[in-house]
Amino acid sequence: MLKIRSIEYGLYPRSEHIRLSISKWERNALDHKSLGKLMDSEKKELLKMFNQAGINYYTDPLINWQDILRMVASMSLDTPFEKISRYRETNTFYRQPLIESYPSLHDISDEDSTPDSHLPGSMYITDGTENYAYFLPGIESFVNMSYVSPELKTERIQDSLLEIYLDLIKRHGMKRILLFEPYPDKSMYEGYSHVFDSAKVFYVRYGLTNSSIGKGINAKPFSIIASSEKEFRIAASHCEVPGIALMNSQNTRVEESEQLRKDVAELSSPLGLDEVFVTHTEYLDFLPHVIAAKKVQVLGKVGE
């Protein structure tokens, strides 16, 4: 019998209380420390909700990151941000990192935070369970979503980011990682072998092809999460347990868990799979807070 498990990851919509608190902080009516405590407290509550909903694997809700790159950019770039850019073909925007020198890791504090960078609060809050996975933006996407000074070499930037990631993995003791790659290169960055070798990695990659998996990739991710049926078939041949994004994160219609299970089974049957992961398209921050919560409950029922 097919075993189906669920994954929730990435930016999660903020509650109205947090939105109002951020507004007060921007007006200097709330200090960094107080907002940071509120952020961490809301993260803990969201992790508890994910767990109680039955989600098999989930990441920090990242409500203080501002976008998927912001926290990593803040701690690795000297002059982190340039212009506002559109995220994929959506109505969401992100602040484009400005890479003028090769990235290197430095510590950041709540006092360093501004509306243009990350917000106060911990980079990660973990609940200490086997369900928790750390979130990292894909190295390829980090570079492709940034403005890069023409005199810098892409490969060296990627290698610098890899050193930072390996340092973060060691600092936080990351045993499970969700690596999110919405803007991939044509061929997978060979340095990922070190990341795949360091932890159980759930690799969400768009535009997957057989040629994407280069010969220089010695270690494989535990799971590749595909964005389409065609890519799902490719993912199944390049990882231990494939996954597919089926729940729509840009539509307020709340799906039925039984229908999602049926869809997953139909996709998996021709491939003879014993196990598969199911998750949402993109991340849930595109949705109203109340709708995202309903979708989490549905997703939890899809997994076993």
Give the 3-state secondary structure of residue 180: strand
Residue from 107, 112, 119, 106 nearest 36 by CA: 119
Q: How far apart are the C-alpha atoms of 62 and 123, rounded to whole Å?
A: 8
Residue 158 to residue 179: CA distance in whole angstroms: 15
With 0-12 / 13-18 / 19 or more C-beta atoms within 10 angstroms meaning exposed / middle / buried, residue 266 is exposed
Tens of pLDDT along the chain (304 residues) come to 899 999 999 999 999 999 999 999 999 999 999 999 999 999 999 999 999 999 999 999 999 999 999 999 999 998 767 788 888 877 788 889 999 999 999 988 888 888 888 899 999 999 999 999 999 999 999 999 999 999 999 999 999 999 999 999 999 999 999 999 999 999 999 999 999 999 999 999 998 888 888 677 888 999 999 999 999 999 999 999 999 999 999 999 999 999 999 999 999 999 999 999 999 999 999 999 999 999 999 999 998 7
**Distance between CA atoms of residues 120 and 109, nearest Å:** 8
Q: Give the Å distances, CA to CA, from 208 to 22, 101, 279.
A: 38, 30, 17
User: How many Å apart are CA 83 and CA 87, to the nearest integer?
Assistant: 12
Cα–Cα distance, 201 to 196 (Å, whole number): 6
In words, the CATH class of domain 3-302 is: alpha beta
